[in-house]
Structure 1
Amino acid sequence: MPSSARVTELRVHGVGGTTPDALLGTTAHQQIWGDRIAGFYAADTDQRGRRVEAYCWGGMTSRSSTRVLWVLLFPFMLANLAGWTCSARTRADRWAFAAHRACGRLAAFGITLNLLLLATLAAIDIWAFQFGRNPDQSSRWRRIANAPLGALDPGPRTVAGAALVAVLLLTLWLLSRQALHRYEEVAPADPDPERFRGSAAARPDSVADPRFFNGAETVHRLGLLHLAGGLAWLACVLSWLAAGPIWLPLEITAAVLLCGTLLLLATETAGSRLILPLVVAAALLVCVAAGFAWQSHPVADADGNIRYMRGIAIETFWLIVVLVMARLPVLATIALLRRAGIRRGAPAATVRRDGPRWSAAPLIVAVLGMVSVNAAGLGTLVGIASSLDLPERAVFDTLRWQIPWLVLAPAALTVVFLLVELIRYAAAGGRRNTAPILAEYAGRTDATPAPEPPWDAWRCNALPVDGICDGELRRRMRWARSVARSRRLAGFAPDIRYLLAGLVLVGTVVIAGIQNSIAGGTPWSPAFAVTLAGLIPVAGVALLRWGWGQPDARRWLGVLWDVGTFWPRSFHPFAPPCYAERAVPDLQRRIRWLNDNGDRVVVVAHSQGSVLAALALAQQPAGQPALATFGSPLRKLYGWAFPAYIHDGVLARLQEWRNFSYPTDYIGGPVGRDDVDVPLPDPESSWYTAGEPMPPLRRHTGYWSDEAMWTQIDRLAQPTSPQPTCPQPTSPQPAELTPTREPH
């Protein structure tokens, strides 16, 4: 490429859905590629001597207020995320890694089954049987709730409730398919698509595989298996509730189908041809069981619930516990076999792991998903019973007993955790931490040349010096303490593992409490805890809806949400869609098109955008453009939480790269390469202008206005030594790559 080649700077924003105006720094721009969800925008005039484009992908995560409804699938997101929090040691061990993936998919189905169990209790027992038996039509809402039931007998009412559960399952399946088509509009290019047919989590090259972000086949397979398993379980429920002459054959057949589903879930690709027949068989069995239940006459037990529902709830709940906890005995057995010398694992020397360890992450995150679905679901269950004016015993005491533990105990743990972190934050402003700050900025102040008159008279130093009044001394010391505390705060992120471990402990106590309640213990369920649990789904949606309208709140909420939805749905098909399945191929195609047309490209990416840009380039190491990242969570967050996928081997594929970071950045940080990392001071210096605020902290969002960083990016963007000119494309541009010249 000749030195006179045009330079194009491609900017990629982080979380929060930055607008093209803000990202380009001008309103004079045009959309040249993409759509309203994600697209490329080009400024009409050059900036800093180069053409500037922006890739705005916020429409896939936070720009639309209706997209906050994805928060209702939060437990499924955790179930999917649990599979990706694999340790580097587990991935290096072939047996352990295969078992980890199998257990991750089984745990994900367990959480789906948990939701179906709660929906069955609400639809069949509370609404169809108890409310339909003696409907209270004193309010408009109760008349509406009774309208589908009318004067039906108990059998038809049971089938009506089961139909609602089936509709819920079908809705989740259809929603996953709709999201799959929408978010995979741009598929990754692969010259050999048949080389590997496993899920993205099992690809040998990890995130560097060009087909990593193409999860269509995996989502399709897992979605059908969850559909088949859910229908088979529903057939079990109907046949058990309608106990009669043929209930046992129906029960056994449904159990066989459910076991077959679990077996196929545990395998990566084996038996794929059996999945569709399994779905058809499960659907037919549900219809047969529904016809049998229609002719039956279920009766109430001593508490007024539909007979046999208590046994169904208990047996299903223990099945869920087994599925979610299966990884514990399975991986422990593999580890014991390795320690006993019966089998060989990965040598410890070949597994490099920097930073804090979190070996129990897959189990903790999976159990947290189960806890979250029960905390919200049980509260909703009790709320439905109350709205229908049913007595307290309408919901089993065994389940009501869980609500205080699932709501109050996690809330108490969170408060304690925040108090401890607040104490650590306050202690970080002590003399031992401020002394190095004062020494650092004193040395930097001495090396800073004084401005020319008359501006030198307005220059002030934020450092405490002798001879100033007590009030000014305290003000300057507050500034030094704020810098010290911000630097310590930047390292607090891994502490979240302690809070999550505590929440898992709560889940263990809940399981023990269920057994105590079944054995005759006294349940405890204060009304305010029940009400609070019922408000969790509504509060979650309201929180995200409010957060999208508040830049600061959107940044914090966006970090958690964008990390959770970054990974492909290789473990739970009903999780919120993976935006990277479109964003990464988008970037790759645009960069390739610019290179083919003779441009020298420099990708400038912030925060979560740096993860998208880095992986887009790592998958195509040949002919990479220059890359500048800042506020990048690649190692600080992703390398810690997902060490099996984001590690030195992947980052080593990136070539011409500079990574900028502040010591006060609570999200981004260094990537551990001396030739790449460029630390920047924050604040830049202790000098400030009289009458203005003291030097502010840039933290995570101040990079865009840091002239020192942009000066280095300017040098990075300059063409290197002359190289052969890239050939211009001779054939017409493909239809999907044709830029659209539509004004924004």
Structure 2
Amino acid sequence: RGEPVLGALAGLLAVGCAVSVSFPDTWRPTALLDFALPALGLVAVTAIVTIAENAITTKERPIGIMWDLMCFLPRAGHPYGPPCYAERVIPELRGRVVGWLETDLLKGKIVDGRDIRTETQRADDELAALGTAQRRKVVLSAHSLGGVLAVSCLFTLGADAKDGLRNVGLLTYGTQLRAFFGRFFPELFGGEVLGVRKSQGPSLWAADPWLKQVNRDQTAPPVVRPGDGPEPTLRELLTQPDGEIAWINLWRRTDYLGFPDDSYDDNDIDRGADEFGPTRYLVKVATHPGYPASAQYMTALRDLARKI
């Protein structure tokens, strides 16, 4: 519920600033200000202490998902933000995928460890490795924020592959692609970009903050796009010639940071995962980590290997 709470606090701050600027001094509630200023100071100190205590006593990142959101975009988009990890990860991941897929195409083109291809030949080999059937295949397995990085990598791979990615599959689990990134960065991960249904924000007052979205997904029609847009969606990039989508997302209701990528209703991308951990002496509820230990993970991996 942090998102709606933050929005409410921002609204109150805006109202307070408007009142302080618009009304004369004689109309200002000085008694209320005398109470509010120390209270705001106490709230700020409490927040700083909580973040510092979390950073010192646990291995988690400060303020969790908010830190991920702040660190995703390059500094060209927000120069005063923290360093961006995507600037390094995405090009490296892209290079590894292409390097693996085009290995069989390099026979006779590497002499004494030196690549003798021209830039045009390299581009043609990369396009062939991505867009035509090859012996080698790649399945990107991405957890949580890794789903955002994997999707970004796939879009760079599919920039020139007009017929889609024939040798690449995507397995995501515990992600926030639709619930958070799709709403905060709609031009990068919105419904029209991914080819999935849109999501609305959580509720502040409902017992289940996402219940309204669950009910909405029961009646929302599936996304059907003819493929005539200026750029292919992620769904289109991963759709194979036989019509199957080489993209599977695992999620579970006991995961506080894992959401469906398309819909809470039945669809061809999202699948449920075990809500209890591996069999042990004591029963443990499965939350955000541990997806690879579930039976559904290996099933999804085999299905993707078959599809591509």
Give the structure-2-normalised TM-score. Answer: 0.58
> 1:304 corresponds to which residue?
none
Query: What is the identity, as a one-letter code, of the residue corresponding to 1:710?
Result: M
Give the Cα–Cα distance (whole angstroms) in 2 for the partners of residues 596 and 699 of structure 1: 38
- C-alpha contact 2:276 2:286 (8 A) present in aligned 1: yes
Query: What is the identity, as a one-letter code, of the residue corresponding to 1:590?
Result: R
- C-alpha contact 2:274 2:294 (8 A) present in aligned 1: no
Q: CA deviation at 1:532?
A: 6.5
For 1:579-618, list aligned pairs within 5 A: 579-598=85-104, 599-618=136-155
Give the Cα–Cα distance (whole angstroms) in 2 for the partners of residues 657 and 520 of structure 1: 60
- C-alpha contact 1:600 1:719 (8 A) present in aligned 2: no
Query: What is the identity, as a one-letter code, of the residue corresponding to 1:612?
Result: L
- C-alpha contact 1:595 1:601 (8 A) present in aligned 2: yes
Give the Cα–Cα distance (whole angstroms) in 1 for the partners of residues 82 and 62 of structure 2: 19
Query: What is the identity, as a one-letter code, of the residue corresponding to 2:51?
Result: L
Distance 1:547 1:574, change over 3 A: same
TM-align CA RMSD: 3.6
Give the Cα–Cα distance (whole angstroms) in 1 for the partners of residues 151 and 37 of structure 2: 45
Q: Determine helix, strand or coil for the equivalent of 2:170.
A: strand
Distance 1:519 1:570, change over 3 A: farther
Distance 1:591 1:520, change over 3 A: same
Q: CA deviation at 1:666?
A: 1.9
Specify which structure has the bigger relative contact order, considering alpha-carbon pairs within 8 angstroms and separated by 6 or more residues: 1
Between structure 1 and structure 2, the one with the greater Rg is: 1
Give the Cα–Cα distance (whole angstroms) in 1 for the partners of residues 6 and 27 of structure 2: 32
Q: Taking every aligned residue pair, what percent have the same amino acid on both sides?
A: 28
Distance 1:547 1:500, change over 3 A: same
Query: What is the identity, as a one-letter code, of the residue corresponding to 2:153?
Result: A
> 1:143 corresponds to which residue?
none
Q: 1:507 aligns with which of 14, 27, 39?
A: 14
Q: CA deviation at 1:497?
A: 2.6
Q: Determine helix, strand or coil for the equivalent of 1:565.
A: helix
Query: What is the identity, as a one-letter code, of the residue corresponding to 2:146?
Result: G
Give the Cα–Cα distance (whole angstroms) in 1 for the partners of residues 90 and 17 of structure 2: 42
Give the Cα–Cα distance (whole angstroms) in 2 for the partners of residues 501 and 539 of structure 1: 16
Q: 2:179 aligns with which of 597, 612, 636?
A: 636
For 1:515-664, list aligned pairs within 5 A: 515-516=22-23, 518-519=25-26, 521=28, 523-524=30-31, 526=34, 529-530=37-38, 533=41, 536=44, 540=48, 543-544=51-52, 546-547=54-55, 549-551=57-59, 554=60, 557-569=63-75, 572-598=78-104, 599-621=136-158, 622=161, 623=165, 625-651=168-194, 652-653=233-234, 654-655=237-238, 656-664=246-254
Distance 1:578 1:606, change over 3 A: same
Distance 1:528 1:508, change over 3 A: closer
Query: What is the identity, as a one-letter code, of the residue corresponding to 1:587?
Result: L
Distance 1:528 1:633, change over 3 A: closer
Q: CA deviation at 1:648?
A: 3.4
Give the structure-1-normalised TM-score. Answer: 0.26
> 1:686-707 CA deviation, whole Å, 9 max, x = no partner?
xx77xx43x4221211313213
Query: What is the identity, as a one-letter code, of the residue corresponding to 2:272?
Result: P
Distance 1:564 1:650, change over 3 A: same
Unaligned ranges ≥5, structure 2: 105-135, 195-232, 239-245
Unaligned ranges ≥5, structure 1: 1-492, 721-744
Distance 1:497 1:570, change over 3 A: farther
Q: Determine helix, strand or coil for the equivalent of 1:645.
A: helix
Query: Does structure 1 residue 696 correspond to structure 2 residue 284?
Result: yes
Number of residues of Structure 1 aligned to a counterpart in Structure 2: 220
> 2:276 corresponds to which residue?
683
Give the Cα–Cα distance (whole angstroms) in 1 for the partners of residues 23 and 192 of structure 2: 50
Q: Determine helix, strand or coil for the equivalent of 1:698.
A: coil
Give the Cα–Cα distance (whole angstroms) in 2 for the partners of residues 511 and 702 of structure 1: 48
Query: By percentage of residues, which structure has more helix?
Result: 1
Give the Cα–Cα distance (whole angstroms) in 2 for the partners of residues 581 and 521 of structure 1: 49
Query: What is the identity, as a one-letter code, of the residue corresponding to 1:662?
Result: R
- C-alpha contact 2:51 2:62 (8 A) present in aligned 1: no
- C-alpha contact 2:139 2:170 (8 A) present in aligned 1: yes
Q: CA deviation at 1:586?
A: 2.0
Distance 1:676 1:519, change over 3 A: same
Q: CA deviation at 1:549?
A: 4.4
Give the Cα–Cα distance (whole angstroms) in 2 for the partners of residues 539 and 677 of structure 1: 36
Give the Cα–Cα distance (whole angstroms) in 1 for the partners of residues 4 and 172 of structure 2: 27
Query: Does structure 1 residue 496 correspond to structure 2 residue 3?
Result: yes
Runs of 4+ more than 6 Å apart: none
Q: CA deviation at 1:662?
A: 0.9
> 1:327-382 CA deviation, whole Å, 9 max, x = no partner?
xxxxxxxxxxxxxxxxxxxxxxxxxxxxxxxxxxxxxxxxxxxxxxxxxxxxxxxx
> 1:236-264 CA deviation, whole Å, 9 max, x = no partner?
xxxxxxxxxxxxxxxxxxxxxxxxxxxxx
Q: CA deviation at 1:626?
A: 1.7
- C-alpha contact 1:618 1:650 (8 A) present in aligned 2: no
